[in-house]
């Protein structure tokens, strides 16, 4: 059976060049980068080179990069780190964070946790395309606001948020700006200096690197209180022996992303547009998210009268991997909080499916997916009580 992976927003295949770069660091150069002998120094030098490659992709400096165990951990270290530091300096008088309603659970749950600890959090709404309402963000600002955390691009509907405007608002009001760039990294150019971003979380497995490794950009001068205590690695912000092969893989993935950015974006955009054009030929099908301000690899649709999970299973039977929500939450049968935030009622939300393409997706894959989806939707509608044309 033909197999097509249309779920690159959940994870990606490790690039062959990334794997080749990693392999020697499992057995040949296995030293602990904290050791001062030759074995340690070899690992340490390689980690430093990776740090530079991650920094280069963001227009940051290498001493502004902390390696983590993934995107979730990077978000936690950033948000809790800023929050606890703020509380230490200013006491506990109504400290306030602004975020959005459509964040990934890595940010939403961290904010909910901080609410339980006495922090105030405003969840700013989004418009029908998933774009954060900037007027409401500005209205939410108070003298107690110390952090704005808004994702760079949404993991479900692919909408890219107005980073430049949010960065400007944060800077003008002397508030720290954190962004979860896990989905955006490698798919759109990111310049942390130009966008006034103080903290940025990224994850390697969404950009053709290995799982279980990520990074946090911390602008020079931003102070965080550590939430992981131990031997003091990564400037005391993420204690634990470094995952050297993973870090080498992330560095290589960043180097490739930088080299290939324009080529990848052009290729993915043209495939994505072909996918969207063909899928929208299906009667009563609609594109979710913003038509232009969206990730080059994301297409998210809703189909009237069809149930998303049934679509996913029927597509799976044809060898096609898709998703009805973010991979992390798609096993729960709750309607997505993102689709609820853009105004979908549960019936609409449950009739949605995400197709996300990647470097290895071909035009032939796209056409196979479009034909299969058309058949699946038609068949499911024949059985659907919600479809009575
Ligand atoms: C926007 C976003 N943030 C954070 C994460 C979590 O990243 P990780 O799997 O590396 O912890 C994901 C993963 O799906 C994501 O899409």
Q: Is 81:221 a contact under the CB 8 Å cutoff? A: no
**Which helix (H) or strand (E) covers residue 231, if one does?**
none
CB proximity list for 362: less than 8 A, separation 6 or greater? none
Q: Residue 329 above 70 pLDDT? A: no
Q: What is the CATH number of domain 16-256?
A: 3.40.640.10
pTM equals: 0.96
Q: Checking DSSP bridges between strand 199-203 and strand 214-218, what pairing results, if any?
A: antiparallel
Residue ranges of the chain assigned to CATH 3.90.1150.10:
4-12+261-383
- Decide: 322 in ligand 1 pocket, CB within 6 A: no
* 332-343 residue pLDDT tens: 567 899 999 999
Of 365, 277, 282, residue with least CA distance to 321: 365
Q: What is the mean pLDDT of residues 303-321?
A: 95
Nearest atom within ligand 1 for CA of residue 72: 11
- Asked if pLDDT for residue 388 goes beyond 90, the answer is no
- What is the bridge-based pairing of β-strands 120-124 and 96-100? parallel
- What is the Å distance from ligand 1's center to 108 Cα? 12
Which residue CA neighbors atom 8 of ligand 1 most closely?
71
| 203 CA closest ligand 1 atom index | 10
Q: Which of 203, 249, 324 should be mutated for ligand 1, with most atoms under 8 A from CB?
A: 203
Q: Which of 111, 254, 328, 370 is catalytic?
A: 328
Q: Indicate if the pLDDT at residue 331 is higher than 80.
A: no
Q: Strand, helix or coil at 204? A: helix
DSSP H or E run through 36: none
Q: Is the CB of 155 under 6 A from ligand 1?
A: yes
Has 254 been annotated as catalytic?
no
Partners of 132 in the beta sheet? 126
- Contact between 357 and 291 under an 8 Å Cβ cutoff? The reply is no
Digit-coded pLDDT (tens) for 49-88: 999 999 999 999 999 999 999 999 999 999 999 999 999 8
Residue limits of CATH 3.40.640.10 in the chain: 16-256
pLDDT tens figures, 100-136 = 999 999 999 999 999 999 999 999 999 999 999 999 9
Out of 2.40.128.30, 3.90.1150.10, 3.40.630.30, 3.30.497.10, the CATH code matching 4-12+261-383 is: 3.90.1150.10
Q: Where are the alpha helices (DSSP H) in the chain?
A: 16-22, 24-27, 38-58, 71-90, 105-116, 134-140, 163-172, 244-279, 308-317, 337-341, 346-350, 363-383
Distance 233 CA to ligand 1 centre (A): 23
Q: Which of 7, 103, 106 to mutate for ligand 1's pocket (most ligand atoms within 8 Å of CB)?
A: 106
């Amino acid at each position: 059976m033909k197999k097509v992976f249309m779920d690159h927003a959940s994870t990606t295949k490790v690039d062959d060049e990334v794997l080749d770069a990693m392999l020697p660091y499992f057995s040949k150069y296995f030293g602990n980068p904290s050791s001062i002998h030759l074995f340690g120094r070899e690992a340490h030098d390689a980690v430093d080179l990776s740090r530079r490659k991650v920094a280069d992709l963001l227009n940051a400096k290498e001493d502004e990069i902390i390696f983590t165990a993934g995107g979730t951990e990077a978000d936690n270290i950033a948000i809790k780190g800023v929050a606890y530091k703020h509380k230490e300096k200013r006491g506990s008088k109504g400290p306030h964070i602004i975020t959005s309603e459509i964040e990934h659970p890595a940010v939403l749950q961290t904010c909910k946790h901080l609410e339980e600890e006495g922090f105030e959090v405003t969840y700013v709404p989004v418009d029908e395309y998933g774009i954060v309402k900037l007027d409401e963000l500005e209205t939410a600002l108070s003298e107690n606001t110390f952090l704005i955390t808004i994702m760079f691009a949404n993991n479900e509907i692919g909408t890219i948020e107005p980073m430049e405007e949010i960065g400007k608002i944060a800077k003008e009001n002397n508030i720290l700006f954190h962004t979860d760039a896990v989905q955006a990294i490698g798919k759109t150019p990111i310049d942390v200096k130009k966008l006034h971003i103080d903290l940025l979380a990224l994850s390697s497995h969404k950009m053709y690197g290995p799982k279980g490794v990520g990074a946090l950009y911390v602008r020079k001068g931003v102070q965080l209180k550590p939430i992981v205590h131990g031997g003091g690695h990564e400037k005391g912000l993420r204690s634990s022996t470094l995952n050297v092969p993973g870090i080498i893989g992330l560095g290589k993935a960043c180097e490739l992303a930088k080299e290939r950015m324009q080529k990848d974006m052009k290729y993915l955009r043209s495939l994505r547009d072909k996918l969207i054009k063909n899928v929208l030929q299906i009667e009563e099908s609609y594109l979710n998210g913003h038509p232009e301000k969206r990730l080059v690899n994301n297409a998210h649709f809703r189909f009237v009268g069809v149930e998303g999970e049934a679509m996913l299973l029927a597509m799976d039977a044809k060898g096609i991997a898709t998703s009805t929500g973010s991979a992390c939450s798609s096993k729960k049968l709750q309607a997505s909080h993102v689709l609820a935030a853009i105004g979908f009622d549960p019936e609409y939300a449950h009739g949605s499916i995400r197709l996300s393409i990647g470097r290895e997706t071909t035009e032939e894959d796209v056409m196979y997916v479009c034909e299969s989806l058309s058949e699946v939707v038609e068949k499911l509608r024949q059985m659907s009580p919600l479809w009575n044309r």
